[in-house]
Amino acid sequence: MSLSFEDRKKTILKTLERDGKVQVRELAEILQVSGETIRRDLDKLEKEGMLRKVYGGAVKEKTSSWDKPFEQRAAMNEKEKRSLCKAAAELVEDGDSIMIGYGTTTLEIVRFLADKQNVTIITQSIPVLLLALEVFKGRIIFIGGEVERVQKSAVGPLAERMLERLKTNKVFISASGISMSDGITDYDLDGANISRKMMERAEEVIVLADHTKFGKTDFAYICPLVDASMIITDKSCSEEWKKILAEKEIELLIAEDM
């Protein structure tokens, strides 16, 4: 007896969530239906806004945020980002030196460090620097370099050279894509390069990403999935991804709602 569209839909979306993409031929073999049936299924799911068809299959639908102003991106999913940042700040111990990467997801970590003693913040993010000057009483080190105006961060060889001279306990970075096949990715190439360099100079790599980033691949490669020591996400993280991360021995922290 052949599976219904709803049953096939579950398998297609589960595969898409895990890998960030699906292929017609592989789905036809798994579901034991014709390629034409799978293509019709993908047509329906595209109309529902669940995916975007590409040659030979489909990819997870997403909206790119690379060209949105920083302030506009900061207002997106603001409550969820604060929850992730609060959970991240709770991992910081007295005496730690930490790196905080660029982007809007990690920005609010600084606000939750008030009760920490003898902590050093290292960042290339101008918004993180300005917020730290306002609310943080510990030591601040700013990574200089060419200023990227959209991301409001320092990038390029000068920034990378300075990072090579430092070593920290923890680094907190954001990602716009996390997938089995393509690892951890972001939408900004220069930013991804700095994130990768920061990861090299930290003992623990902690990635902040809400549930919508799982199963998604973005433009710029940062690192393999297994390079993350921990991933902090929200309560909507799927059971499939909880299982994947457990199998890869990557610690998963589910942030509490605020």
pLDDT at 79: 79
Query: What's the pTM value of the predicted model, to 2 decimals?
Result: 0.75
pLDDT at 18: 81
Q: Average pLDDT of 188-212?
A: 94
| CB distance 93 to 117 below 8 Å | no
Q: Side by side, which strands form the sheet with 168-174?
A: 139-142, 120-123, 97-100, 168-174, 202-208, 230-233, 251-254
86-113 confidence digits (pLDDT tens): 999 999 999 999 999 998 899 999 999 9
5-51 confidence digits (pLDDT tens): 878 988 898 888 788 889 999 999 999 999 999 999 999 888 766 78
99-156 confidence digits (pLDDT tens): 999 988 999 999 999 899 999 999 999 999 999 999 999 999 999 999 988 788 999 9
Instruction: Give the span between the Cα atoms of 234 and 248, in whole angstroms.
Output: 19
What's the Rg (C-alpha) of the chain? Answer: 20
pLDDT at 160: 94
> pLDDT confidence of 63, banded at 50, 70, 90?
very low
CA-wise closest residue to 122 among 104, 144, 152:
144
| CB distance 19 to 29 below 8 Å | no
Could you give the domains of the chain? 5-60 (1.10.10.10), 70-254 (3.40.50.1360)
> pLDDT confidence of 73, banded at 50, 70, 90?
low
> pLDDT confidence of 172, banded at 50, 70, 90?
very high
pLDDT at 19: 82
Task: For the chain, give the longest Cα–Cα distance.
Answer: 66
